[in-house]
Amino acid sequence: MATINDIPLPEQLIQPFDPFALDPCSESSLYREGLSWGFLRLDLIHPAVSGNKWFKLKHNLRYAIDKGCKSVLTFGGAYSNHLHATAAAAREYGLKAIGLVRGMSASVNLTPTLATCKELGMDIVFIAREEYSRKDDIEYLRQLKERYPDSFIIPEGGANEQGRAGAEEIAAFIPSSYSHVCVSVGTGTTFVGLRNGLHHSQSLLGFVPLRGGSYLKSHIRNHLYHDKDNHWILFDDYHFGGFGRSTDQLIDFMNSFFSQTSIPLDVVYTSKMMFGIGELLRSSFFPSGSRILCVHTGGLQGNVSVKDKLAF
């Protein structure tokens, strides 16, 4: 099994830590006799380039350097963890970062996320939602390449071959003794990488924090290895109003979870995943004897929007 020291991070990025918190949390409301669960603490890799973000970026950045590109261009919303991580990682590698941000209204008052991106040296370009919707269109990408000839274009969330290859490496940190692996799902890139990298007998559960997230199923299936299209499922019932939205119930859950486990969750992804896992536990979804591993994908910088409501 891989160790955290196997990750080829620049020396100044790597943080010495034990990435696992695997002991069953017997005091947690999520605990049920006959089950055990733990965390893969990818959030501890680095304060900015944390969680699955690093894995999805590492091969993209190396590819850009190998191709002689001077900058990387990517996409995201006003609270994007991906933009934040790209800005930080690109700076460490000596690359210019350009972020195309969805929505002209976001330019009026910069969110804390975008303000930090600018501080890290990223050029922020606001584009209308109509233009943003073309981010995967071949002709639009060709136009962007003409406009930014020295840039390597990384899709939103690192959703490309390089991103999936990096995400697949996360599986090397997960012991085969875990029967169920749980992860939040945004673009589906990390989910695809994990399913391709995990043992075929392990079940992979994805928790989508947006309404109608089941549409990702076809996208995910298109990128799975032919022998890995099994033992996986998506849940999109725990979105709390939609992507990036939260409720008092979710905030209360985050605070309660932290008080019981000392593990901070982010308001966009992992909090909704853990709430969903709790609901599945209470409904006896998991067979007795299941060993459940929860992948903490980082993104704690997103909590700045609700920091006054959090106890951590």
**How far, in whole angstroms, is CA 104 from its chain's centroid?**
25
Tell me the two tokens of residue 238: 């725990």
Asked if residue 96 and residue 119 are part of one domain, the reply reads: yes
Q: Are 112 and 120 in contact (CB under 8 A)?
A: no
Asked if residue 255 and residue 107 are part of one domain, the reply reads: no
pLDDT attached to residue 243: 87
Q: What is the CATH number of the domain that holds 228?
A: 3.40.50.1100
Asked if residue 112 and residue 82 are part of one domain, the reply reads: yes
Neighbour-count burial of 309, counting CB atoms closer than 10 A to its CB (0-12 exposed, 13-18 middle, 19+ buried): middle
Nearest CA-CA partner of 234 in 211, 209, 206: 206
Asked if residue 215 and residue 192 are part of one domain, the reply reads: yes
Asked if residue 45 and residue 175 are part of one domain, the reply reads: yes
Asked if residue 141 and residue 73 are part of one domain, the reply reads: yes
pLDDT attached to residue 110: 92
Q: Are 179 and 111 in contact (CB under 8 A)?
A: no
The one-letter amino acid at 31: Y
pLDDT attached to residue 305: 85
Asked if residue 87 and residue 44 are part of one domain, the reply reads: no
Mark which of 105, 124, 158 sits at the end of a domain.
Answer: 158
Asked if residue 233 and residue 94 are part of one domain, the reply reads: no
Asked if residue 293 and residue 233 are part of one domain, the reply reads: yes
Profile the chain (312 residues) by mean pLDDT over runs of 10 residues. 44 41 47 78 84 93 95 95 95 95 91 94 97 97 98 97 96 91 96 97 96 92 96 96 92 94 92 95 92 92 91 94
How far is Cα 19 from Cα 24, in angstroms, rounded to an integer?
A: 15
Mark which of 158, 179, 213 sits at the end of a domain.
Answer: 158
How far is Cα 223 from Cα 168, in angstroms, rounded to an integer?
A: 12
Q: Are 42 and 50 in contact (CB under 8 A)?
A: yes
Write the secondary structure of the chain as one string of H (helix), E (strand) and C (coil).
CCCHHHCCCCCCCCCCCCCEECCCCCCCCCCCCCCEEEEEEHHHCCCCCCHHHHHHHHHHHHHHHHCCCCEEEEEECCCCHHHHHHHHHHHHCCCEEEEEEECHHHHCCCCHHHHHHHHCCCEEEEECHHHHCCCCCHHHHHHHHHHCCCEEECCHHHCCHHHHHHHHHHHHHCCCCCCEEEEECCCCHHHHHHHHHCCCCCEEEEECCCCCHHHHHHHHHHCCCCCCCCCEEEECCCCCCCCCCCCHHHHHHHHHHHHHHCCCCCCCCHHHHHHHHHHHHHCCCCCCCCEEEEEECCCHHHHHHHHHHCCC
Per the structure, the count of domains in the chain is: 2
Asked if residue 179 and residue 135 are part of one domain, the reply reads: no
Mark which of 158, 180, 197 sits at the end of a domain.
Answer: 158
pLDDT attached to residue 30: 57
How far is Cα 312 from Cα 303, in angstroms, rounded to an integer?
A: 10
Asked if residue 201 and residue 263 are part of one domain, the reply reads: yes
Question: Phi and psi (nearest 5°) for 151?
Answer: -105, 145
Range(s) of the domain holding residue 301 = 4-50+161-309
pLDDT attached to residue 273: 97
**How far, in whole angstroms, is CA 119 from its chain's centroid?**
22
Asked if residue 220 and residue 165 are part of one domain, the reply reads: yes
pLDDT attached to residue 2: 45
Strand order in the sheet with 71-76: 123-127, 96-102, 71-76, 151-153
How far is Cα 276 from Cα 281, in angstroms, rounded to an integer?
A: 9
